[in-house]
Amino acid sequence: MPRFCPSMYLQLSDLHSFADSGSFSHLQERKKSLEEERERLETILKTSSDKLIYGIHTGFGPHAFTSNEELHLIQKSLIYHLTVEPILTLEGTPHSNLTHKEARVVLCARLFSLALGGSGIRFETLDVLNQLLEFDCIPILPEKGSLSASGDLIPLSYIPLALLGESGFTGKGKGLGPTKQNGKTSKIPGLPWTPHPKEAISLTNGTSFTTALLGYQVVEFRNLFLQSIELLRYLFHYHSIFPDAFHPGYHDHKQFDGPKRIANFLYPIISKNPKSKVEGKRIQDIYSVRCIPQILGSIWDELDSIGLVVEQELNSLSDNPILISESKNGEILHRFAEGGGFYASQVSFAADRLQNAMAVWFTWIDRFLNYLMEPKENDEFPLMLSAKPGTYAGLSGLGLMATHLTAEVRRDSMPGSMQSIPTNGNNQDIVPMGAISVLRNRRTVHSAKKILAIFSYAIFQSSLFAKKKELVPYFELFRDLNTMEEDRSLDFEIQTLMERIDNSISFLVMTPND
């Protein structure tokens, strides 16, 4: 069913929903404005003495130095010189590319950005893209090739290549798209497509690949992160810690929202079963416990901040050149302006921030697992959560895997936004590399599901040793699973938990603007 974005504002939650289904019902409301804009573009092309408009009369990048009359040929030249990453085998089956859901959100983001106006692309072209979303006939997009400057060039170029009928599609409606295999025929009106002046560059020269993937990752990780907080509440029903560090009043002395959210959520449970201070014993928990509001609260704040940056870019036109209006001698004039509207610098910084936030979360989980497995720290559970320490190893293997995953993520956390390499005949002499970062983040989100499954099972196993078993609550995530008394393979449990986590939505989930 079509989805409507209120006030023409695309939120991360909307973007994430488009990964499964939907199209833009508001596009028809934009038709008149977009058609008027296209008419202005055509008028400029017919009447302007300027025959050096970038990407319309000229070639691209270092080739933008001479006027050409072959305006349609220039558009096809852009598509063809960028489509260099094989996405299909010789048999016509897809290589390893973006997943179907990822390709949907990229197409969604590109369509939404161009529909905001300023690009001059034909309404008919945008309507074709909207039909592809509606019929779930999504162009196959490669993972690699974007430097997040001059747009996400190589990945996005496969959208117009697919419209030409020279590529492939994925999704339930993939057979509706024109391909070499079906003789470039299609039941979707407007396909196969012929690019008009300015159109191929508009489809290609934007930040929608980097931005959409980062937005998708923010929503995915945010849900995993919030599930980890729910697991803490489950644990603290029966496991006692010192409550002072979670008292909401303690956090009123700072201005950050994240720690207050954590404290407000956990303190009511922690305070019902508090740990008592005893002479001769440490009266404060270690940082991985006591500083949970600060550690996890800062991550929560960071995710909200990153989400806002991504939404700002999602709701901006990313293209070059763009149509602008200016007043001269009382007359409104329309002309093309050229610049760097394709440059995804803020998004690149945000992608690195997401990786850093995830790396801190991994590190905290690794240390909290150590807390659960070390009796000197938790004061309740046996060594390695083993039912018979010295005979059974308990969760030692899960601990090793968690440390491996954490080390991988930390190794991958070198910022991508400062990895610029000059290229393109030195035309692109400094680039933000955001797409490199989002592909790295993608690996981290996958590992996050695994380490959260390990974290979940460790908390579940700790319930076996709870001193107050009557306080252990029911938790749907652990339905039909068993704790471990004698050592056994845990591959089934971890796989089951990963699948359940992947298909669960935390009740704490909110959009970044809430």
What domains are there in the chain, each with its CATH number? Answer: 12-205 (1.10.275.10), 211-506 (1.20.200.10)
H or E segment at 380?
none
CA distance 218 to 309: 11
Q: Which residue is it, tokens 């995710």? A: 303
Q: Which residues of 108-126 are buried (b: 16+ CB within 10 A; e: fewer)?
A: bbbbbbbbbbbbbbbbbbb
Least Cα distance to 397 among 443, 458, 456 occurs for 458
Distance set, CA 429 to CA 62, 132, 210, 344 (Å): 11, 36, 19, 15
**pLDDT given at position 433:** 84
**pLDDT given at position 6:** 42
Neighbour count for residue 142 (Cβ, 10 Å): 22
CA distance 438 to 97: 14
CA distance 234 to 228: 10
pTM reported for the whole predicted model:
0.94
Least Cα distance to 254 among 288, 298, 222, 286 occurs for 298
Residue 296, both tokens: 């996890």
Least Cα distance to 319 among 335, 338, 305 occurs for 338
CA distance 16 to 19: 5
Residue 92, both tokens: 């016509």
CA distance 418 to 352: 10
**pLDDT given at position 50:** 81
Least Cα distance to 114 among 84, 79, 82, 156 occurs for 156
Q: Which residues of 452-464 are buried (b: 16+ CB within 10 A; e: fewer)?
A: bbbbbbbbbbbbb
CA distance 135 to 171: 9
**pLDDT given at position 12:** 96
**pLDDT given at position 401:** 97
**pLDDT given at position 340:** 87
Least Cα distance to 205 among 120, 131, 123 occurs for 120
Check: CB of residue 358 under 8 Å from CB of residue 221.
yes
**pLDDT given at position 510:** 56
Low-confidence ranges of the chain (pLDDT < 50): 1-7, 511-514
CA distance 120 to 116: 10
